[in-house]
Structure 1
Amino acid sequence: MTMPEPRTLQAVNDLQPLLQARRWRWRATPFPHIVAENVFVPDVQEELARDFRTLYDQRTTAGYNTQHDFLGTSLISTQCGSLEVFISPAWYALFTRLFGINEPGFLTAGVHRHRPGSRNGFPHNDIFPERLDVGPGRGDVLRFGGPVAGKSVRAVAILYYLNNGPWAPGDGGETSLYWDWKDGVDTPVDSVPPRDNTLFAFSCNPHSYHSFRTNRKRRDSVISFVYRGVDDYVQLWGDEGLRQYAEYGRHHA
């Protein structure tokens, strides 16, 4: 099976024709984040869901993430149809502008599938230094601006939910938000349900604790990450948070 040509790519440098004219809501608690519903116009929404299914049909060897209990694979430029919007310059520019991220930096994206009954996650902040290599054959990491020396950390996480069908309370699969890594996963401050064509984005910082909640129905999503250099992060936060990803606190308290 061959991925279709991304019909929306002619507009990837200008997102406006793809997005519905609706306001995106900023929320401050428990950390700054955006929730937006009805993100893409209907025909683009349908195209994204179709290409998500096609990609999973092709990638029958999608990797299993044991730490977070999902199946996933990276989006690779020119190989993901309309999903390339999530690794486009316009997507990068939109979220660096919204969250005030300085260039240069990196962008990556992937598709995630939580099968029914996937286990609860745990509150974590998504801060983990890593070295992102960009070179021949690496279509899964896109660099914007000049070179980035040393390691990088996630600066913005963007989740887009699609291909799930109607959602109702009790179906699970929410992304939940917490004050602290020690909070119980079932006692969040707030939650974002995985309704189709909904977007949840937040600035990754020492306090951006979030977690997946167990699901009764399949939950599909596309997740994008904007990265900043570790030096840029340290100027803002010091080294706070660099050691707190996942269960660091539980094992090193």
Structure 2
Amino acid sequence: MTGVMESPAPTLPAWFTELFAHRRWVRRATPFPHIYVRDVFVEEFYHRLATEYERVRRDRQPEFHVVSEHYSADAISLNKLRNGPLALFGSREWHDLIAGVTGVRGTGDIEGAVHHHPPESPRGWPHSDLAPAWFGGPAPTAEEIRLPDDTVDIQTGERESGVEARELVRGVAVMFYLANDPGWEAGDGGETALFAHVNGRHDPEPDLLVPPLNNSMVIFECTPRSWHSFAGGNTHDRNSVVMWLHRPKSEAVRRWGEDHIVKW
């Protein structure tokens, strides 16, 4: 089942809404609820985003880090990209747009990075992203955004004595694709795989593959059944912005129980 929704919300400032190419975002029910958008931004702004990514990839390569020993991407965090076009993804306006279209009341805390998978990267493993995240400092106000910093380990909450931190849970995942081969076609790999069921299977077949088309995006609420992975087998570089909004841990525990929150 699919449906068309209108976004971005008209209450957001005009300078922000004018960056978007249209307001027809597609809401899909299967294999789990998610939103898919083609041609997210107007061509001029998308070009600025892609050009900035290419500059960052070229000039700041030493700042890219391996995401995980079990994951084939390297990345640079959004908290290092607070100037220039890519800073949009760490803005309060972007946070409020994503929270509004998903119906998740975000805390104002954003974690994310620009990811790069080299050609022929291996596939990932199905996971839900319903995971804890620790942020330093007090809760953001309605106008503020909090990004991770080096004072608190976002995965464990480890910090020096006296440093304030809050334990949250990922609430919404966003993947925006940019600076990829414009000639991508089926068979070129690098999609995001979505799964209806995993049930302990080590290597299940995906129910839907979201292609890494430039200026497109997939968004979904993080729940115990939001199973997804990197499909691998990409014949070209695969680049994306990957980010999360967050919700209070107490809310996630109330809805699904603590045993459904996946520890790192």
TM-score with structure 1 setting the length: 0.82
Structure 1 residue 224, shift from structure 2 partner: 1.8
1:78 and 1:170 map into 2 onto residues whose CA distance is 33
Q: Is the 8 A contact 2:92 2:108 kept in 1?
A: no
Q: CA deviation at 1:22?
A: 4.3
| 1:171 maps to 2:198 | no
Answering whether residue 260 of structure 2 is matched by residue 241 of structure 1, we say yes
Determine the C-alpha separation between the residues in 2 that align with 1:213 and 1:78: 27
Shift of 1:126: 0.7
**Which AA in structure 1 matches 2:170?**
R
The separation in 2 between residues aligned to 1:198 and 1:167, in whole angstroms, is 13
Aligned pairs, how many? 228
Partner of 2:7: none
Q: How does 1:1-253 map to 2 (within 5 A)?
A: 14-61=15-62, 62-65=64-67, 66-76=69-79, 79-134=82-137, 140-141=147-148, 150-165=166-181, 166-181=183-198, 182-183=200-201, 185=203, 187-214=205-232, 215-243=234-262
Asked whether the 8 Å contact 2:137–2:166 carries over to 1, the reply is: no
2:176 and 2:242 in contact (8 A); partners too: yes
CA distance in 1 between counterparts of 2:124 and 2:80 reads 29
- Tell me the CA shift for residue 57 of structure 1: 1.8
| Mean CA deviation greater in 58-67 or 115-124 | 58-67
Once the two structures are TM-superposed, the CA of residue 217 in structure 1 deviates from its matched residue by 1.1
Structure 2 CA distance, aligned partners of 1:234 and 1:87? Answer: 26
Range 126-135 or range 170-179, more displaced: 126-135
SS at match of 1:104: coil
Partners of 2:100 and 2:85 lie apart in 1 by 23
Alignment partners' CA distance in 2, 1:12 and 1:162: 24
Instruction: Please say if residues 128 and 224 of structure 2, whose CA atoms lie closer than 8 Å, have aligned partners that are also in contact.
Output: yes
Aligned counterparts of 2:121 and 2:203: Cα–Cα separation in 1: 14
Q: Residue 239 of structure 1: CA displacement?
A: 2.0
Cα distance between partner residues in 2 of 1:184 and 1:13? 47
Distance in 2 between residues matched to 1:34 and 1:219, nearest whole Å: 21
Task: Tell me: CA distance 1:195–1:172, structure 2 relative to 1, closer, same or farther (3 Å).
Answer: same
Specify whether residues 13 and 58 from structure 1 end up closer, same or farther in structure 2 by C-alpha distance, changes over 3 A only.
farther
Structure 2 letter corresponding to 1:190: L
Unaligned runs of 5+ in 1: 1-10, 143-147, 247-253
Q: Is the 8 A contact 2:106 2:171 kept in 1?
A: no
The aligned residue for residue 145 of structure 1 is: none
The answer to whether the 8 A contact 1:161-1:221 is kept is yes
Distance 1:35 1:184, change over 3 A: farther
Amino acid at match of 2:38: E
- 1:4 maps to none
Provide the identity percentage.
32
